[in-house]
Chain A
Amino acid sequence: MSPFQSRRSIVASAIILVFAVIAFRLFQVQILDKEYRVTAENNALKYETIYPARGRILDRNGQVLVDNKITYDIMVTPYDVQPFDTVAFCRIFDLDTSFVHEKFREYRLYRRKIGYQTLVFKRQVTGEQYNMFIEKSFLFPGFTGVPRTSRTYPFNAGGNLLGYISEVDAAYIKEHPDYRSGDYVGKTGMEEAYEPLLRGEKGYSIYLRDAHNRIKERYRDGEYDKTATAGVDVTTTIDGVLQAYGERLMKNKVGSLVAIEPATGEILTMVSSPGIDVSQLSDISKYYRELVNDPYKPMYNRAVMSPQPPGSVFKLVNGLIGLQEGVLTPSTMYGCHRGYVVGNLRVGCHGHPSPINLYQSIMMSCNAYYCYVFRSILDNPKYGSVQEGFERWKQYTESFGFGRKLETDIPGEKAGTMPTSERYDRLHGKGRWKSISIISLSIGQGEIGCTPLHLANLAATIANRGFFYTPHLQKDTPESPIDPRFKERHYTMVDTTHFRDIVQGMELAINYTGGGATATIARIPGVIACGKTGTAQNPHGDDHSVFITFAPKDDPKIAVVAYVENGGFGATWAAPIASLLVEKYLKGDISPERKALEQRVFDGNLLHKVKIKKK
């Protein structure tokens, strides 16, 4: 006899007890509880997803830029399909019969996997097609239609900015587990940036099926249903009318046009040309290949993604730094005889009177003047070495936002480039470069790249006399407040008092009538605008035409940059375009004496001047 034999009965009793508990639970589930037998023959829950309406996108004045329209997805439950009139079916949806045959061949192939599921048969059929289908739906058992919202664009503006939505793919779902197959997500532009707001929340209805697998009734009268929550409308800072006008001005030109409200940092207009037409957005999959292969890269938002040399516009920054550093006063005079010459180095300039003061240097855009200014900043004895002086200069430019991301809410924003000491050390040998070696920086050439948005921000900073708000696209509304970082003033390292003199020069550049002013073409009747031209040399062809402006001079409402690639002088294309945009915004229309200029811009086609990479 083994010891512990009495333990046998303890274990046996415990086993019987556990089995009794299971038996009781089975009795409860199968006999007592009616919940599991709502209908005696059969019950099965079917969850039907309710898709929320995606939030709309509005412009700053409440104009709807992106709206929803209802289309229908035709769904099929292969299990329930019976032989049907394929030809009639195809006529309704304008399909080829082979499409249907191919689909059903697949369904048969994967029938075990599909089982009882409902699948999408055809996406986005129109309301008329859906109505024709519903009338005859008794002929096509197993097919149903489900309303889905798709995007529509009542206002033809801002294709690049708005971005597109598309159905999530397997890779996306893997990274974002809260999305399911069939969901749509914003892929670019504002649709991407404001996805969490626009998306909304899905709901579902629960139905019971009967023994023949037909939907019979709502499960518990919808007690467990969940309603969908529509997405939040997002208001943008964009002015739809101005955006559309800007796109017209930039048509057939390659470049960017950006307008900012200086007092808030709100972006009024952001054109990247050539861009995507909104009619292509709603059916992006159809145009995708075409857009991607377009040599002018319409999907690319040049305004924030394309750093370029700023050209003479950058003289303003150097002037401001010189004033702050005390190496320059408004009355400092420098001579210029068609350029700046030291030894065998020569920075050319155009013919203009000499010598000139600071105001005239801005008005006439003298190159030599800024070579002097730049060298006196870097060679300032108080910094000991050129390298130290350069580092100081670089700190100033960074305080304007150059060479770094501005941290806007625009997807894909680039930082641009500012040269570093290390780079020059590599180029010339450590400590072996002088201010003259990097003299191109004085006139905004050389190793410097800023995006058009950087330049627009510069215009806004000068308009504000020394500070800027981070540019942004989302308008502050009570329903969707903006990030606090957009409400913060960023001051540059230059005292606000110095900006007055620079503004003075910019006013003269447009409004001086005595001759020599570079931007008189930007003069707007009845408005005192301030501006600065730029003509950026580049290795790709003709100079880029650049212009920054703001107006009115006192209490500025708008600051603009126009950057027209290979457009020639700043005054040729950029100045007219930027000033027309300002005039449109401030006065609502273009004055009669400038209509001819407007027409010239509309008609201008510079595409042939831009060298494109052949595929």
Chain B
Amino acid sequence: MPEVNYKKLDWVVVGLYLLLVVFGWMNIFSSSVGEGGFVFSIKEKYVMDLIWVGSALVLAILILFIIPSRVYPAISWPFYGLMVLMLVAVAFVGVEVNGSKSWFAIGPFRLQPAEFSKIATAILLAQLMSKYEFKFSNPKDFIRILTVIGVPILAILLEKETGSALVYLGFLIVCYREGMTGWILVTGLLAILFFILTLVFSPFVAILVLAGLFGISAGFYQRKPLLGAAITVPVIVLLAFLPRLMRLESLAFLTRFEPEVWAAMLTGVTALVLTALAFLHRNRQLRNLMLGFLLGLALIFSVELVFEKVLKEHQRARIEVLLGIKEDPMGVGYNVHQSLVAIGSGGLAGKGFLGGTQTRFDFVPEQSTDFIFCTIGEEWGFLGTLGILIVYLILILRLIGSAEKQKDAFVRIYGWCVAVCLLMHVVINICMTIGLMPVIGIPLPLLSYGGSSLWAFTILLFIYLRLDMEKKSY
């Protein structure tokens, strides 16, 4: 029986939690209160939110003082299985809200399993990765972890709730901390970068950048940076003139292919030759680089396909508006435009509590849930938004710091998972409201209106606080 030291309770985290919840309620009140002022009725969002907050606090106390923490590792598999089952079930029997079927309706209450499945995933990941013999270099272990993360993602995509699925990618950061190769993260980021480059500029430009990046890095990895640059730079400069050359009549044969096809053929053949050489000389680094380059080419050519065929029309439209390919302040861009106007109109100090007009007059949609940050931006100004940002930053970094101090790997990994869930939600949500990411509807932790989200984050966080208080007796 582990000994619980209640004096060890992390009051800073509890304080930040309460601060966010109270501040959240104030903003929900501000954005949903009618002309008549405070009305005590369950139909009003701010009253409903009080009920959620109250019940969340009860949950927090239960978790901190009553529920023994050793149940969590024990129930990890059944809990996870149940959650996945619910995720799949909700895609079929759930109620549809804003185009995604992700809610169970129980009387007047609605429950979103995608919020709670994060807890189950975090516990199971901590359980699996904390095993003594666990190693990422063991393919069996690695695949098991990827499956545990991937299954809820697929189930959530089935509900057409892309935002929540994205959050799960955050667990890859925990994997990185626990020893997964960083190349997976780097490759993912590069893929996003080249996706954007291809859409905003052209496949041709993306190929040139890709060739430059890999050419120079190949030079560095072979300890011949000057040679790499000497070959790469002239080739890219020459290629850059290709579209101009194609307009010359004497070189009309060039127009047989699009410029990106020429660029891909030239650089692709070079890469193939280098790959073959690398195989002959057992030069693994060069081989991997060149294979990476060829994969990159394939990615660039498949962007259009993915964009046109895989993404849904509304997702495509959101990305186009975000990247400035299309301007559409009336349609898809409306939310972001109104959101920016609301936040921007807050200025330095904001319009004061209840002083906002943008958010209160329903210009900003979903202003008490996914767009609550607009109310903060408008009424509390830059000081308010910066303050909230800092609160989240302290909370996340403190959780990571505290996790690192844990002697028990299970607690450490679980702590990281909690921090990463918060991080993904905060970054995606805020970036959406300020036009840095496409509109992806996920709540701002502890601030947004919504019982499922508040409950889920409360449980997530207080399980860690409880684990943190225990002294494991070996």
Contacts and interface: CB of A to CB of B under 8 A. Distances in A.
B345 A4 contact: no
Interface in B359-411: 361-363, 377, 381-382, 385-386, 389, 392-393, 396-397, 400, 404, 409
Interface residues of A, number: 38
Contacts of B389: 19, 22-23, 26
Nearest to B179: A4
Interface string B319-336: 000000000011000000
Contact of B386 (A26, A40, A47, A224): A26
A30 B385 contact: yes
B358 interface: yes
Q: Interface centre among A11, A22, A30, by most B CB within 10 Å?
A: A30
A16 interface: yes
A172 interface: no
Given A15-B393, A22-B389, A47-B330, A36 B343 contact: yes
Q: Interface centre among A26, A36, A37, by most B CB within 10 Å?
A: A26
A26 B363 contact: no
A15 B396 contact: yes
Contacts of B361: 44, 115-116, 213
A25 B436 contact: yes
Contact of A7 (B177, B347, B409): B177
Interface string A27-68: 101110101110011111101000000000000000000000
Nearest to A14: B173
B213 interface: no
A30 B358 CA distance: 14
Contacts of A381: none
B96 interface: no
A564 to B, nearest CB: 54
Given A26-B382, A27-B382, A36 B329 contact: no
A211 B357 contact: yes
A18 B427 contact: yes
Contacts of A2: 409, 412
B346 interface: yes
Contacts of B377: 26, 29-30
A5 interface: yes
A560 to B, nearest CB: 52
Contact of A31 (B329, B347, B397, B404): B347
Contact residues on B (Cβ < 8 Å of other chain), bracket: 35 or more
Interface string A115-137: 11000000000000000000000
Nearest to B356: A42
A542 to B, nearest CB: 59
Q: Interface centre among A15, A37, A40, by most B CB within 10 Å?
A: A15
A12 interface: yes
Contacts of A43: 341, 345
A115 B362 contact: yes
Nearest to B373: A26
B9 to A, nearest CB: 23
B95 interface: no
B358 A15 contact: no
A8 B413 CA distance: 12
Contacts of A5: 404
A527 B386 CA distance: 94
A491 interface: no
B178 interface: yes
Nearest to A35: B344
A25 B409 CA distance: 37
A16 B401 CA distance: 14
A25 B432 CA distance: 12
B431 interface: yes
A16 B393 contact: yes
A3 interface: yes
Contacts of A115: 361-362
Contact of B177 (A8, A23, A33): A8
Contacts of A31: 347-348, 382
A340 interface: no
A391 B76 CA distance: 79
Contacts of A372: none
B329 A30 contact: no
A12 B179 contact: no
A40 B345 CA distance: 7
Contacts of A116: 361-363
9 contacts: A4-B177, A8-B404, A16-B397, A19-B389, A22-B427, A26-B385, A30-B344, A41-B351, A116-B362
Given A26-B389, A40-B345, A42-B357, 20 more contacts: A2-B412, A7-B182, A16-B397, A19-B389, A19-B392, A22-B389, A22-B431, A23-B386, A26-B434, A29-B344, A30-B377, A31-B347, A37-B345, A42-B358, A43-B341, A44-B357, A45-B329, A115-B361, A116-B363, A213-B361
